[in-house]
Copies of this chain bind each other. A is one copy, B any other.
Amino acid sequence: MAHQIAAQKRESSSPTVILESFLPYRLNVLASLTSNALAQIYAERFGLSIPAWRVIATLGQYEYRTARDIASHGVMHKSTVSRAVASLEQRGLIVRKPNQDDRREEWLELTEEGREIYEALAPEALAFEDRFVSVLTEEEQKVLAALIDRLSGHARLLGPEGEVEG
């Protein structure tokens, strides 16, 4: 490392955002780190994008769900989900089943092949999570989960009005 500059604080009177302790920044950095690492698994092995993986993961857990459910649950834009769904359908990994009670929406469901991919991916995702949280004790993991829960619930209320519901 050629250079290594000391943390040069300012002498100003106006308030300073200390990035190292600024929560939105830190959360995004941590989320990026985990996303990037996890994305390697499902991108390199199955050519899945992040939205595509989320669709598959949701349907793997819930059997069927609508695009709207997936979008709001994962805080994704509906067009993002729409395109992921189209691509997964074309690859034969999911199918759409029109909802007769409300023909605007469609139930999404994994095909056999889609479920095979999910069942191959799920253990790897869980293993990754294990590695990832292995620096924390069981107790700390529970505490962290609870704190994230509280913050997420609160943040869904602060955000742009429309995009809520879980």
Count copies of this chain in the complex: 2
Say yes or no for A86: interface residue by CB 8 A criterion: no
- As a 0/1 sequence over residues 58 to 94 of chain A, the CB contacts with chain B under 8 angstroms (1 = contact) are 1011111110010001110000000000000000000
Decide if A75 touches B33 in the complex (CB within 8 Å): yes
Q: Are B147 and A140 in contact (CB under 8 A)?
A: yes
Q: Which of B17, B144, B159 contacts A33 (CB 8 A)?
A: B159
**Alpha-carbon gap, A148 to B27, bound state (A):** 8
A25 located at the interface, meaning its Cβ lies under 8 Å from any Cβ of chain B in the complex: yes
Q: Are B17 and A125 in touch, CB under 8 angstroms? A: yes
Which of B10, B123, B131 meets A15, CB within 8 Å?
Answer: B123
Number of interface residues of A (CB under 8 A): 81
Q: Which of A133, A160, A165 counts the most B-chain CB atoms under 10 A from its CB? A: A133
Assess whether A156 is interfacial by the CB under 8 Å rule.
Answer: yes
The 7 closest A-B pairs by CB, nearest first: A31-B31, A33-B155, A135-B154, A32-B75, A24-B34, A14-B119, A27-B31
Interface residues of A (CB under 8 A from B): 1-3, 5, 7-10, 12, 14-19, 21-38, 40, 54, 57-58, 60-66, 69, 73-75, 101-102, 119, 122-123, 125-126, 128-129, 131-136, 140, 143-145, 147-148, 150-156, 158-160, 163, 165
